Amino acid sequence: MGLEVAGGGEAAVKGKFWGIVVCFFLGNGSLFAWNSMLTIEDYYVSLFPNYHPTRVLTLVYQPFAFGLTCFFAYYEATMNTRKRNLAGFALFFLSSFALILLDVGTKGHGGIPAYIGVCIISAFFGTSDALVQGGLVGDLSLMCPEFIQSFLSGLAASGVITSALRLITKAAFENSQNGLRNGAMLFFSVTCMFELACLLLYAFVFPKLPIVKYYRQKAASEGSKTVGSDLAAAGIKTDQDRQVEEDTQKHERLSTKELLMQNIDYALDIFLIYVLTLSIFPGFLSEDTGSHGLGTWYALVLITMYNVLDLIGRYIPLIKCLKLTNRKGLMVAILARFLFIPAFYFTAKYGDQGYMIFLTSFLGLTNGYLTVCVLAEAPNGYKGPEQNALGNVLVVCLLGGIFSGVVLDWMWLIGKGW
């Protein structure tokens, strides 16, 4: 068949529930491996106590995630989105398996060679993130808003699931010999299986859902060149190039620069959200919160509370009366979050663990809520190819904010002898 959208209204809703479920799992898979590495930070701190692994691994990860996402965003109009996302999930799976092999090969001993190996795998995780997150956000931006919301909720849920698994494995192995190591290896075994499941879901289930085929056919009819292989995987043949040549005016689209200039406030919003969040989470919460009654459980509890409230925050915009859509209102709310910096500083210095848990929870809640408000609202009113491009641009800004926040996170160490 050609580029005409078949099925109309029926196809536009058929399979929507399963699409939302799959998007949730794909969001999970996009960060599950990286969150696993962050969540077992107590194991890496015990292996490499002098090398600040919670900060260094993130600092290694982010340049690859940010730099490659910029590259992919520049060429998004002609990139094969299907191959990009499949490559990303495959690399997540292989990198997670490599962490297990590295630990088995070094017999759980620390040292520089093992540390370098872990850092290299962290860089592979960053590469996978650049492949998957930008590709999926761009792809889902041209579909219904519920898909992008579900995907973003899945990103947050990956943190909740990994935190819960870490608490369970820590409790199960705490009193056993090599308990930390056994728990970490079980953790990454689960990660490998989950990433493989996401790879299979994206390859064989998602492209065949009627609602997904409908939106991809619609995007192709508007001139998108990124969905051809996805449609082919669903058994739909297109003669897109010929039809685009016949009606070039119909398929004209705004350039990436024009989209950025029209949405510069959204780009700044998403950048500032993650500059603030990553300047505090996870490095500050793991190393700079003092000593408290929870002992070695304290950092895990803080990270878990952040992840749980981040997930909850991403569902609040589903209640229409609570969804913030005003562009100026979004900017004011995002700038107000910078009050977290003095709040965390004085709480770490003078407050007790209850205040710190509350602050961490509120940090997560606002992060999740504002992220969905921005990314679900920004693509409205554009054609499919433009929505895909804008989704990629906003992910660049998101990862740029994360990278900047990770660098600024080191400022908490000023005056502490490092």
- Higher-pLDDT residue of 281 and 213 is 213
Contact status, residue 77 vs residue 225, Cβ threshold 8 Å: yes
Q: Which residues contact 75 (CB under 8 A, 6 or more apart)?
A: none
Confidence band, pLDDT 50/70/90 cuts, at residue 185: confident
Q: What is the pLDDT, as a whole number, of residue 28? A: 95
Q: What is the pLDDT, as a whole number, of residue 8? A: 57
In the chain, count H helices and then E strands. 19, 0
| Highest mean pLDDT, choosing among 88-97, 167-176, 229-238 | 88-97
For the chain, domains (ranges, CATH) are 16-237+255-413 (1.20.1250.20)
CA trace torsion 294, 295, 297, 301 (10° rounding)? 50
16-68 pLDDT, tens digit per residue, is 999 999 999 999 999 999 888 877 777 888 888 888 787 788 889 988 999 99
Confidence band, pLDDT 50/70/90 cuts, at residue 348: confident
Over residues 187-211, mean pLDDT: 93
- Higher-pLDDT residue of 170 and 396 is 396
pTM for this structure? 0.86
Q: What is the pLDDT, as a whole number, of residue 1? A: 40
Q: What is the pLDDT, as a whole number, of residue 394? A: 95
pLDDT at 247 over 60: no
E-strand stretches of 37-88: none
pLDDT at 3 over 60: no
Q: What is the pLDDT, as a whole number, of residue 414? A: 61
273-301 pLDDT, tens digit per residue, is 999 998 887 766 665 555 566 666 777 78
| Highest mean pLDDT, choosing among 171-175, 274-278, 279-283, 403-407 | 274-278
| Highest mean pLDDT, choosing among 20-24, 142-146, 318-322, 351-355 | 20-24
Q: What is the pLDDT, as a whole number, of residue 92? A: 96
Q: Which position has the token pair 């970490």?
A: 184
**145 phi, psi to nearest 5 deg:** -60, -30
Determine the Cα–Cα distance for residues 396 and 291; give it in Å rounded to an integer: 37
What percentage of the chain reaches a pLDDT higher than 70? Answer: 88
Contact status, residue 195 vs residue 93, Cβ threshold 8 Å: yes
Confidence band, pLDDT 50/70/90 cuts, at residue 100: very high
Over residues 364-369, mean pLDDT: 96
Helices 112-141 and 384-409: crossing angle in degrees, nearest 10, is 150
Q: What is the pLDDT, as a whole number, of residue 291? A: 57
Confidence band, pLDDT 50/70/90 cuts, at residue 329: very high
Q: What is the pLDDT, as a whole number, of residue 73? A: 92
Determine the Cα–Cα distance for residues 161 and 27; give it in Å rounded to an integer: 12
Q: What is the pLDDT, as a whole number, of residue 2? A: 45
Over residues 391-406, mean pLDDT: 91
Over residues 344-369, mean pLDDT: 89
Confidence band, pLDDT 50/70/90 cuts, at residue 408: confident
Determine the Cα–Cα distance for residues 381 and 285; give it in Å rounded to an integer: 40
Averaged confidence pLDDT in the chain: 86
Q: What is the pLDDT, as a whole number, of residue 109? A: 81
What percentage of the chain reaches a pLDDT higher than 90? Answer: 50
Contact status, residue 211 vs residue 22, Cβ threshold 8 Å: no
Confidence band, pLDDT 50/70/90 cuts, at residue 171: confident
Q: How far is CA 346 from the centre of its chain?
A: 30
Determine the Cα–Cα distance for residues 237 and 246; give it in Å rounded to an integer: 18
Q: Which residues contact 157 (CB under 8 A, 6 or more apart)?
A: 24, 27, 28, 311
Determine the Cα–Cα distance for residues 246 and 69; give it in Å rounded to an integer: 33
Q: What is the pLDDT, as a whole number, of residue 292? A: 61
Over residues 99-111, mean pLDDT: 87
Confidence band, pLDDT 50/70/90 cuts, at residue 9: low
